[in-house]
A and B are shown apart, each in its own frame.
Chain A
Amino acid sequence: MRDLGGHRGRGLAKTIDWKLVICYLLLILIGWANIYAAVQADEPASIFDWSCRSGKQFIWILTSFGLATFILFALNPRVYEGLSTPIYIFTLGLLVAVIFLGIEVKGSRSWFEFGPVRFQPAEISKISTSLMLAAVMSRLGYKIGRVRDFIVTALIILVPMGIIVLQSETGSALVYVGFIFMLYREGLSGWFIFIAGMAILLFILTLTASPFVAILVMAGVGSLCMCLYSGRIKWWMIIGVPLITLMAFVPMILDKAVEAAEDAVVAEMVTEEGASTAEVASVAEENVEEDAEVPFIARVKPLYILLIALGILLPVAAYFSFREMNMFSQLALVAMVGGIMLVFSADFIFNKVLQDHQRKRIEVLLGMKEDPAGVGYNVNQSKIAIGSGGMFGKGYLNGTQTTFGFVPEQSTDFIFCTIGEEWGFFGCTLVILLYVFLIWRIIKNAERSREAFTRIYGYCVACCIFMHLFINIGMTIGLMPVIGIPLPLVSYGGSSLWAFTILIFIFIALDRNERKYF
């Protein structure tokens, strides 16, 4: 774009954020090199060999550069705002169409196939949703606190997310949860993030510990929040803490009580019949098990006591909060009731809603089941590969774990294993820091921007990259369940590389547009 028709501004060298571009290039190169490392054992060939994955990736990279150039120089950044709605709707159409027209890959219908080329509309959907969000939220008068605006925003995110879930691509759908950070930046209450976090915590606690523990923790945190908000921290210390501590000991006390009650029954029978203790003890134990006259205390479960306590306390708290017209406590109470429902439905969600493979992945992650040969195989081999890298790794192309095919999906979702094994802790940290720099820089640029559209879009890009980064690397090192999403710019795959290139370069173009004039 040269100075034509009144466009005046700074030149190319000064307007493009070169640091971002270099960061982008570095990540792509790292990815390419490691894809070669991952596949070269199976298919020993040149890195440019078209028939192997590194060669194909090279072509994807070249085409990505073409796309980037096109976005930077051929398209006027102004078009995005106007085009966002048609693009968004078109993408939604693609998402729906793929369910019926797409091919099935590993149990999910999310790929279109055109001859040798496959592509995944879910990848484009990240871009279209980001553009749509930016367009809607940057409108004059938009306020996220207003119910109508909030619902529209939520729908923009939830509709593509829902369709992607229908495609059985839960992993890709999970990325959309990341938009919550952008919404937070744009004024969404932080409590939303808090509640989302609590929900996940409750879910995990219910599965790994017990509903009792989950509800107790929720009651503790919930009451603390309410007291903090209304400035009654003293109350919480005086009433809340002792009550919760007492509750924590209820299971133990109950156990003792049941034992004592049973002993009493046995003792009674001994005195009545005067028979030898051993005989009666066995008789008594049988009776305890079979007889209808079980000591009442043995039937009481800690959970019942807790629920009764909450059943008394919650209405009391509700009464006070309504009298004081305390909106926060009211909402908090609603959230707590919701939490209790979540706890009781956790089992149902886990066993009925989640698919079999997803359930197993979560079980392995939470350590509920050890399964190093089955579902845990990927994670275990991936950890072995990364762990064996040590401080500086085994050196490029010298990794044994990844190149032997011990790690599955090693050039796509588990590419980080190759990095971990051949470049060690040093290389891993470097890659993570590169991503942090990339995201950081995007956020900073977004913040500096004078246009809401650019800022919101920038945050969307940052959220997408962050979610991919955290879920993917978290998965390879066992922090996250196995969720098959690629590592941005590094994993093998044309769809993903193109999508992130477009995502990032639209932002660079928008950013450049601003630098040109301000």
Chain B
Amino acid sequence: MKLNRENKLLIGLCTAAGILIIKLFGIQIVEDKYKLSAENNTMVYSTIYPTRGIIHDRNGNILVGNRVAYDLMVTPKEVEEFDTLALAEVLDVTPEAIKEKMDEFYRNRRRIGYQSVVMFKQLPPETYMKFAEVAYRFPGFRGQARSIREYPFNAGGNLLGYVSEVNSNYLAKHPDEYKAGDYAGMTGIEAAREKELRGEKGYNIWLRNSRNKIESRYQDGELDKEAVPGDDITTTIDATLQNYGQMLMNNKVGSLIAIEPSTGEILTMVSSPGIDVDMLANFGEHYNEILANPYKPMFNRTVQAPYPPGSVFKLVNGLIGLEEGVFTPSTTYPCSMGYHFGRSKLGCHEHKSPVNFEESIMMSCNAYYCYVLRGILENPKYEFIDDALDTWRRYVMSFGFGQKLGSDFPSELGGFIPDSKYYNRYYRKGGWKATTVISLSIGQGEIGCTPLHLANLCATIANRGHYYIPHIIKDSENVTIDPKYKERHYTLVDTTHFPKVIGGMYRAVNSGFGSGGTASIAAVEGLDICGKTGTAQNPHGHDHSVFICFAPRDNPKIAVAAYVENGGFGASYAAPIASLLTEMYLNGEIKDDRKALEKRMLEANLLDRVKVRK
């Protein structure tokens, strides 16, 4: 063959055709990725959602269970003309709602194609049964069973947390674990134990034919995957007590926490006002309503609100003073309606003077602790007050303050305990002295701690010097908790100093009215409650009422912290509420002579006192 131009062109033609064929060979025979993509285009995965794990309380009661609700699905392409009025009546909705939905589906008909879409979510079984009877009259409509959350106890929305469909933010944070349409626990226990509770999704694989209609199971369902239900978990919560606490805190703003000191298990955790459990199951629908509530029910005060602890904090300062040796339990200090320094004065209420350590706790003397804090901060051991303050801070931190305790409850905040750097920044170095920061002595000023911190303090004292990290999940069949929750955490204060404090706390409650004890109202015969009141000054309105207590004095079973915003004196609301909770836990009932107190507490409404931005 001559290599003339004709033949060169023919060779070129064959080469070009060859290139095309080789490339075709590449994508049609050699590479698999295009075939896989095509399979994705033709196989339809229908997800089987697992039922979430059940949440039990410590006694085996169900805190959060599941029940069946029905979504009304509609396949617009299969819908024939139907009696809108009849359907509306059966479903208990307005005909307009149905018409609106159908119009929406019609507008999106290209995108929907032969798919089914949700028309109404979470119909109760009764409604669904009514529909099922007449379903034959409505081709294209069907119900799809779905498991939703059910709450036998009003255990508080903030504690339990809510489950909702994941949004784009959540998806971005958990890219591989979740897909749009999945549900996940967003707050509280649901979020804390999402991994165990969620279970594993399954799927059925269907084949679409070339007309986009589902035709058959792929390989007869051989490759389908069953959904694995979520693991049940057991919490440390006592459902009855939680419920009672919820009732006590009704119409008050604040927190109520009870811990079992010997284990660190949280028995009760109430943040009030909370989210009603009736709203939890269908959280999405109530979301805006909850957000609009001026009392911020979504804000979990038990672990997120940094309050000044008030007089309760005197216990800590007392213990530190004893450990540092700046005074002894028998040291007495005078109090003349307060502590005078220079031209200033830190006021106190009227009580006998001078007082010793136990009496100072019993009567909550402010002046006594001004002496104590000055003793700590002006300790000649330390050359500079900076070192003294930082030492004090180390002690305080060893009680768990000023840091996240490491609880398994999500979104815990750490609070704040000032150090020398903080004051140096504020006043410059050397520009401040013990009297500058004297309000620290009575738990005011630059201190922020959460109610959980206070409850932990109470448990620490009840344990005579150590605490377990407060937690809400117990070991159970499927769940093993982190070993850190079983470790004792000792404070830097020697355990021998604690009995003195406890003596004071005992006398504060059990000395009887008229003795000067600040918490006589909390006394319950036979329970040996030990407690300490606090009244946290509030520049914005009524003072906050604070109380911590544990009982019984020996081998304590429960340690409680109550923080009632705008409740006034510690003895006004916090002490009664905490003592009622203690009594209920230990006795299972409220004694007759305290029924009136209980009634007053249950009915009290402090919401008007709370300043809110409406």
- Residues of A at the B interface (CB closer than 8 Å) are 41, 44, 181, 184-185, 383-391, 397-401, 403-404, 406, 420, 424-425, 428-429, 432-433, 435-436, 439-440, 443, 447, 466, 470, 473-474, 477-479
Contact A428:B28 (CB < 8 A) given known A41-B212, A443-B9, A443-B10 = yes
Contact A41:B27 (CB < 8 A) given known A185-B9, A404-B41, A470-B16 = no
Contact of A435 among B17, B39, B41 (CB under 8 A): B17
Contact of B210 among A404, A429, A473, A478 (CB under 8 A): A404
Name which of A388, A399, A432, A440 has the most chain B CB atoms within 10 A of its CB.
Answer: A388
Q: Which residues of A contact B14 (CB under 8 A)?
A: 436
Interface contact A400-B35, CB-CB below 8 Å: no
Contact A428:B24 (CB < 8 A) given known A387-B38, A443-B10 = yes
B28 (CB) vs chain A CBs: closest residue: A425
Q: Which residues of A contact B172 (CB under 8 A)?
A: none
State the CA gap A400–B211 with chains docked (Å).
8
Interface contact A440-B20, CB-CB below 8 Å: no
Q: In the complex, how many angstroms separate the beta carbon of A403 from the nearest chain B beta carbon?
A: 4
Q: In the complex, how many angstroms separate the beta carbon of B11 from the nearest chain A beta carbon?
A: 11
A439 (CB) vs chain B CBs: closest residue: B13
Contact of B9 among A184, A400, A436 (CB under 8 A): A184
Contact A425:B24 (CB < 8 A) given known A185-B9, A390-B29, A447-B6 = yes
Task: List B1-36 residues whose CB lies under 8 Å from chain A.
Answer: 5-6, 9-10, 12-14, 16-17, 19-21, 23-25, 27-29, 31, 33-35
Contact of A390 among B12, B35, B212 (CB under 8 A): B35
Contact A432:B20 (CB < 8 A) given known A388-B38, A400-B210, A403-B211 = yes
3 tightest A-B contacts by CB? Answer: A387-B34, A388-B38, A387-B27
State the CA gap A398–B5 with chains docked (Å).
44
Interface contact A388-B35, CB-CB below 8 Å: yes
Contact A432:B17 (CB < 8 A) given known A388-B38, A390-B29 = yes
Q: Which residues of B contact A406 (CB under 8 A)?
A: 41
Interface contact A429-B21, CB-CB below 8 Å: yes
With an 8 A cutoff between CB atoms, is B208 at the interface? yes
Contact A466:B16 (CB < 8 A) given known A388-B37, A429-B21 = yes
Q: Which residues of A contact B243 (CB under 8 A)?
A: none
Q: Which residues of A contact B39 (CB under 8 A)?
A: 388
With an 8 A cutoff between CB atoms, is B164 at the interface? no
Q: Which residues of A contact B13 (CB under 8 A)?
A: 436, 439-440, 443, 466
With an 8 A cutoff between CB atoms, is B42 at the interface? yes
Contact A433:B17 (CB < 8 A) given known A384-B41, A425-B25 = yes
- 26 A-B pairs (CB sep. < 8 Å): A44-B211, A181-B9, A185-B9, A383-B34, A384-B34, A384-B37, A387-B33, A388-B35, A389-B28, A390-B28, A391-B29, A400-B38, A400-B41, A400-B208, A400-B210, A404-B41, A404-B42, A404-B210, A404-B212, A420-B24, A425-B29, A428-B24, A428-B28, A436-B17, A443-B9, A478-B23
State the CA gap A44–B33 with chains docked (Å).
31
State the CA gap A432–B212 with chains docked (Å).
30
Q: Which residues of B contact A479 (CB under 8 A)?
A: 19-20, 23
Q: Which residues of B contact A184 (CB under 8 A)?
A: 5, 9
Q: Which residues of A contact B42 (CB under 8 A)?
A: 400-401, 404
Interface contact B38-A473, CB-CB below 8 Å: no
Q: Which residues of B contact A440 (CB under 8 A)?
A: 10, 13
Q: In the complex, how many angstroms separate the beta carbon of B24 from the nearest chain A beta carbon?
A: 5
Interface contact A403-B210, CB-CB below 8 Å: yes
B208 (CB) vs chain A CBs: closest residue: A400
Q: Which residues of B contact A403 (CB under 8 A)?
A: 210-211
Q: Which residues of A contact B211 (CB under 8 A)?
A: 41, 44, 403
Q: In the complex, how many angstroms separate the beta carbon of A417 from the nearest chain B beta carbon?
A: 11
Q: Which residues of A contact B17 (CB under 8 A)?
A: 432-433, 435-436
Interface contact B12-A181, CB-CB below 8 Å: yes
Q: Which residues of B contact A389 (CB under 8 A)?
A: 28
Name which of A181, A384, A401, A424 has the most chain B CB atoms within 10 A of its CB.
Answer: A384
B212 (CB) vs chain A CBs: closest residue: A404
Q: In the complex, how many angstroms separate the beta carbon of A286 from the nearest chain B beta carbon?
A: 30
Contact of A387 among B5, B6, B31, B208 (CB under 8 A): B31
Interface contact B29-A474, CB-CB below 8 Å: no
Contact A385:B24 (CB < 8 A) given known A432-B17, A466-B16 = no
State the CA gap A390–B28 with chains docked (Å).
5
